[in-house]
Amino acid sequence: MQDKSFMEEEELDLYEHHKIIVDKGQKPLRIDKYLMERLANATRTKIQNAIHAEFVKVNEKAVKPNYKVRPLDVITVCLPEPPRVDEIIPENIPLDIVYEDEDVLVVNKPAGMVVHPAYQNWTGTLVNALMYHFENLPTSQNGASRPGLVHRIDKDTSGLLVIAKTELAMTFLAKQFYDHSIERKYYALVWGVPDPAEGTVANYVGRSPKDRRVMTVLDEGEGKYAVTHYKVIEDLRYVSLIECRLETGRTHQIRVHMQHLGHPLFNDATYGGDKILRGTSFSKYKQFVENCFALLPRQALHAASLGFVHPRTKEKLYFEQPLPEDMQAALDKWRRYVQYE
């Protein structure tokens, strides 16, 4: 009999290739049939073999091919070889399409969706969905792993993105972003009330020398120049709803700039907004804030509007998207708290 520790060392490393969260309205359906509809180029035999080999798990547990998926089941497919960076797996993920023509696509990205495949997020991204729904998206500006993309927003930021469907659109839109002529308005819920109520933050932003996973304000020449124009829309004493207009589009720009002003985004764990930064220490207030965090389990940031010149018609297009339900619910809760306090 083999030594247990030796056997453990010999176990295969498995790499996540797919992660699917079953829709709320999904009717009971055998998992092999369900995956056939969701995974490109997957035969029923291949899926059943993967299930028998326990490469497919539901809610972290191995299942049989006749298991019937239920709403909100978390299905993962893990295989012995890691996904290739340049291999994009088309996935039948619904898209909230705001506008579409032969050149461009404007989508409303939900919070929680990563924009393009990268380390630890090979599937379930916006690009995986785009590759399923559209063919021949241009890649010249962004490389093979980012077809159609001319900009992006963070995983836990919701809102509008424009996608290039042609080489003409890719080049024309990229030039507008380079020239800072794209109109972008964000809504953010931040701790406290900025003073002055309207202003501009202009400095240099780059990766923190202390923690490369986060961005920070740096000395001149050490980062990229970043400009954010902000305005308080609603003063709720402990928090405020602000509008941010981007002149540049640096990684985490609004999140870094508001932290720099001393007003981190509400529930932004990366930049310190997931703590109580304004208000009392009373247990009732603490419970109220934690309830708000539960309603809005992400940074309170939404890409609300997007304006650009169409690459073919040269017409100015402008799109708006209202606050998503989670941000609206947290905002309404703060309004009631301030009103009846």
Question: How high is the mean pLDDT of the chain?
Answer: 87
What SS3 class is residue 266? coil
Q: What is the pLDDT of residue 9?
A: 36
Q: Going along 10-73, which residue ranges are E strands?
A: 15-21, 29-30, 56-58, 61-62, 68-69
Which of 6-15, 79-88, 173-182 reaches the highest mean pLDDT?
173-182
**Model pTM?**
0.74
Query: Is the per-residue pLDDT at 295 higher than 90?
Result: yes
pLDDT in tens, 29-77: 999 988 888 876 677 887 887 888 788 899 989 899 899 999 999 998 8
SS3 track for the chain: CCCHHHHHHHCCCCEEEEEEECCCCCCCEEHHHHHHHHECCCCHHHHHHHHHCCCEEECCEECCCCCEECCCCEEEEEECCCCCCCCCCCECCCCCEEEECCCEEEEEECCCCCCCCECCECCCCHHHHHHHHCCCCCCCCCCCCCCCECCCCCCCCEEEEEEECCHHHHHHHHHHHHCCCCEEEEEEEEECCCCCCEEEEEEEEEECCCCCCCEEEECCCCCEEEEEEEEEEEEECCEEEEEEEECCCCCCHHHHHHHHCCCCECCCHHHCCCCCCCCCCCHHHHHHHHHHHHHCCCCCEEEEEEEEECCCCCCEEEEECCCCHHHHHHHHHHHHHHHHC
Query: Is the per-residue pLDDT at 187 higher than 80?
Result: yes
Query: Is the per-residue pLDDT at 7 higher than 70?
Result: no
Q: Pull the structure tokens for residue 294.
A: 């539960």
Q: What is the pLDDT of residue 81?
A: 55
Catalytic-labelled residue, pool 103, 154, 156, 268 = 154
Mean pLDDT value of segment 94-104: 95
Q: What is the pLDDT of residue 150?
A: 87
pLDDT in tens, 237-278: 999 999 999 999 899 999 999 999 999 999 999 999 999 999
101 assigned to active site = no
pLDDT in tens, 115-148: 877 756 667 889 889 988 887 788 644 445 577 8
- % of the chain residues with pLDDT over 70: 89
Mean pLDDT value of segment 177-182: 87
pLDDT in tens, 299-316: 999 999 999 999 999 999
Q: Which residues contact 8 (CB under 8 A, 6 or more apart)?
A: none
